[in-house]
Amino acid sequence: MELFGKRGLRLGLRERYALGISALLLLVFGAFAWVFHLQLKDWFIVQTHAQTRAVMGQIEAAREYVKDVLRPKMYSLVPPDAFIVEAMSTSYVTREIMERFGRWNPGYRYKRATLNPRNPVNRASPFEERMIRDFQQHPQRTTWSGIVSIEGNSFFVRMHPIRMEKGCLRCHGDPKDAPAELLERYGPQGGFGRKLGEIAGLDTLYIPVDVALSRIRASTLGLFLIGLGMLLVLALGVNLLFHHQVISPLRTMLAHFKAVAEGREELGKPLVIGRGDELEELAHGFNQMAHQIQRAHGQLSSYAETLEELVEERTRLLHETTAAKEMLQAVFDGISDPLALMDPRGKVTMMNRAFLQEARIRSGKEGLPCHRVRFDRDRPCEGCPLYETEELQGPTSLELKGPDGEDYELHFYPIRDEEGVLKEIVYYCRKITQQKAMERQLLLADKLSALGQLSAGVAHEVNNPLGVILCYTNLLKRQLKGHEQALEDLAVIERHAIHCKEIVESLLHFARTTETRRRPTRIEEVIQEVLSVLEPTFSKASVEVTRSFDPAVPELVIDPEKMRQVFMNLLLNAQQAMDGTGGRIHIQTTLASRERFVELRIQDSGRGIPFHVLPRIFDPFFTTKPPGQGTGLGLSVCYRIMEEHGGRIQVEETGPNGTTFVLTFPIEEVSLEGSDPDRR
């Protein structure tokens, strides 16, 4: 068998088999060595964990002995203001004990790490500072352990938090309460200011593990090398056995095949292996095949002419089918809306160019379901009538909202044969998002107009009785001086009547069409004026306001007073959406010169607007605020003012991270028409 040819090195069957067996065994043994390494490492960590736990138990026992026994005994023996550090300080005693413990066990290193320590030796490292803060953020945690790398060396670290108890506050609380000897020795700066229950530091035990981990790696490597040697011996034996049992018979068969192919042997000469196994069966099969080939050779010539005629007919039909398909595809592509042809199971068989562009895909998606091709969904769209078309006698249509948030109008036209069997379905889709938005705006405008007229009539009818109620309330208050209970009842009546009068005034303001005094104004100046008024309120509520004004924005022909009302309402709503927890409001202006309009974005970091409330936020008298905190007319008035200016107001996005309102102003040529008379 040749191993070298025109294309360079070629591996034979024996070599490939040997390499495959070797790779498989190497993989298996490598996995075994890796598992062995992990088991050794886990065993070492468990043992180290148990050792550090025992040492920490001794440290804690010593600390509790000093705190519960030795310190109270010393307080009874020494003057009240005396403090013997060597016998009464838990940190000093435990550190001294662990220094002596470290002499007998050089691998252990103990440290009482703390922030603002009294003794500089106890100052926490950056790693220990991070762990102290972590324990402070998770006060329920009682311990932490693990392997860390410090300055290129690996250590097993165990940490226990140190919590301030009542008996600790004399020496760690207010320096005025501390013993004089302690202040004289350490000063009033470090170690004071602690509070009851506070995590002031960590009892930390370090054990170097580099040597142990290196031994584990060396043991694993030695095991792997031993296995590798055994693997080589095993692979050599398998290779020799495979050569004797498989390769030699195959070479005999290959020599016979080449001789027949080159004409040196007759096809009918039998191939004999004489082994009685699968290779012998293969040789017998070859002999039978050779016999059948000889018989079929005589029949091939008679079939050749017939086959040539069939190929010519098939080629002609193929050309005709291709031309018809190209013509149908050209008709499809001429339709500007998405159009597709599907089989009865809803799989796309043909689509036009608009369908590909709308779905943002390339060709090659034929044969996939519509919902997979169109919207990249695993399941059909909810309410889709495609799978009901089989039962329908005629076309059907449906409006639905796609996964991309757009509104679509879908049409399905079943195509049946003469027997009424459904063969194909024509799918036609049209995006109607803008149409639906325009219909909602027209409906809201009609609602505002009708409600404004009704509000004006109702407000006038209610305002007069409210004035009479307030008038008689004042008269009764004068007559009932000295009757405290009656005066309190009258105060309740007066307060609610005044609230009703404020609502009536809001109705009149909503219904009244005041004159719009528009003049060229820089919108940034109006915003700055509103922010200067709201700055104390925002500062008190911890609200940060950022601005990003496009210098290219020109003067807009607007009514500054009405725009102040709009900005005031939106900014106060943004501040109230933060629930008094503080946050950020970002105001941005952008010039879209080609479209001839200016966009103003007011983005807050509040709680957002619930999606089921969003379609109603511009409805009059609709509010989510508690009773007495809003009339529900603010956004309705803003909507009407923006319509008066030929602009729009809408919610661009909302969610748990905040809400963004977008105000769109048309850019008009600055003229004197309709401007303020004082500027003429």
Q: With 80 as the cut, is the pLDDT of residue 659 above it?
A: yes
pLDDT higher at 649 or 228:
649
**CA–CA dist 429, 498 (Å, integer):** 56
Q: Please report which confidence band the pLDDT of residue 363 belongs to, taking 50, 70 and 90 as the band edges.
A: low
Q: Please report which confidence band the pLDDT of residue 652 belongs to, taking 50, 70 and 90 as the band edges.
A: confident
Domain spanning 334-431: which superfamily? PAS domain (3.30.450.20)
pLDDT higher at 139 or 460:
139
Q: With 60 as the cut, is the pLDDT of residue 510 above it?
A: no
Q: With 50 as the cut, is the pLDDT of residue 673 above it?
A: no
**CA–CA dist 74, 93 (Å, integer):** 14
Q: With 80 as the cut, is the pLDDT of residue 577 above it?
A: yes
Q: Please report which confidence band the pLDDT of residue 523 belongs to, taking 50, 70 and 90 as the band edges.
A: very high
Q: With 90 as the cut, is the pLDDT of residue 600 above it?
A: yes
483: DSSP letter: -
**CA–CA dist 370, 426 (Å, integer):** 12
Q: Please report which confidence band the pLDDT of residue 602 belongs to, taking 50, 70 and 90 as the band edges.
A: very high
Domain with CATH 3.30.565.10 in the chain: 519-679
The whole-model pTM stands at 0.33
The predicted structure's pLDDT at residue 460: 58
The predicted structure's pLDDT at residue 435: 67
Q: With 70 as the cut, is the pLDDT of residue 604 above it?
A: yes
**CA–CA dist 329, 353 (Å, integer):** 9
Asked if residue 541 lies in contact with residue 575, where contact means CB atoms within 8 angstroms, the answer is: yes
Domain with CATH 3.30.450.20 in the chain: 334-431
Average pLDDT, the chain: 75
The predicted structure's pLDDT at residue 439: 61
DSSP bridge pairs for 68: none
What one-character-per-residue DSSP string does 330-368 give?
A: HHHHT-SS-EEEE-TTSBEEEE-HHHHHHHT--S--TTS
Q: Please report which confidence band the pLDDT of residue 249 belongs to, taking 50, 70 and 90 as the band edges.
A: confident
The predicted structure's pLDDT at residue 353: 73
Element (DSSP H or E) covering residue 47: helix 13-65
Mean pLDDT of 106-126: 80
Q: With 50 as the cut, is the pLDDT of residue 207 above it?
A: yes
Q: With 70 as the cut, is the pLDDT of residue 392 above it?
A: no
**Topology, domain 519-679:** Heat Shock Protein 90 (3.30.565)
Q: With 50 as the cut, is the pLDDT of residue 674 above it?
A: no
Q: With 80 as the cut, is the pLDDT of residue 296 above it?
A: no
Weakest-pLDDT range from 393-402, 432-441, 587-596: 432-441
Give every strand in the sheet of 348-351, ordered side by side. 348-351, 339-342, 422-431, 407-416, 396-401
Mean pLDDT of 534-539: 85
What one-character-per-residue DSSP string does 290-331 give?
A: HHHHHHHHHHHHHHHHHHHHHHHHHHHHHHHHHHHHHHHHHH
The predicted structure's pLDDT at residue 457: 59
Q: With 90 as the cut, is the pLDDT of residue 364 above it?
A: no
**CA–CA dist 240, 376 (Å, integer):** 55
Domain with CATH 1.10.287 in the chain: 436-511
Looking at 1.10.287, 3.30.70, 1.25.40, 3.40.50, the CATH number of the domain 436-511 comes to 1.10.287
**CA–CA dist 266, 336 (Å, integer):** 68
pLDDT higher at 388 or 676:
388
